[in-house]
Structure 1
Amino acid sequence: MCESENMMTKSDLTGSKDIFRVGVRVPPFWPEKPAIWFAQIEGQFAISNITADTTKFFYVVSHLDPRYASEVEDIIVSPPADDKYGRLKTELIKRLSESREKKVHQLLTHEELGDRKPSQFLRHLQHLAGPKVPDEFLRTIWSSRLPSNIQSI
Structure 2
Amino acid sequence: MAPPVPPSPPTMASDLAAIGLASRVPPFWTDMPKMWFQQFESVMGPQHQSEQVKYDMVVSKLGKEELCQVADLISNPPEQHRYTSLKNKLIKIFEASAEAQFHKLVSEMELGQQRPSQLL
TM-score, normalization by structure 2:
0.72
Check 1:20–1:65 CA distance in 2 against 1; reply closer, same or farther (3 A cut): closer
- Which TM-score applies when normalising by structure 1? 0.57
Q: How many residues align?
A: 101
How far apart are the structure 2 equivalents of 1:92 and 1:29?
A: 10
* Residue type of the alignment partner of 1:111: E
Two-structure CA RMSD over aligned residues (Å): 2.5
Corresponding residue number in structure 1 for 2:64? 66
Report how far residue 6 of structure 1 moved: 7.7
State the distance in 2 between where 1:98 and 1:63 align. 20
Q: Partner amino acid for 1:89? A: K
In structure 1, stretches of 5+ residues that fail to align are: 8-18, 114-144
Higher relative contact order (CA 8 A, sep 6+): 2
Residue 29 of structure 2 is matched in structure 1 by 30
Q: Partners of 1:106 and 1:42 in 2: how far apart?
A: 28
Give how far 1:39 is off. 0.8
Mark the runs of 5 or more structure 2 residues left unpaired by the alignment: 1-10, 115-120
- The sequence identity of aligned pairs, in percent, is 34
Between Structure 1 and Structure 2, the one with more helix by share is 2
Q: Deviations over 1:50-92 (max 9, x none)?
A: 4210010010001100111111111111111110000100110
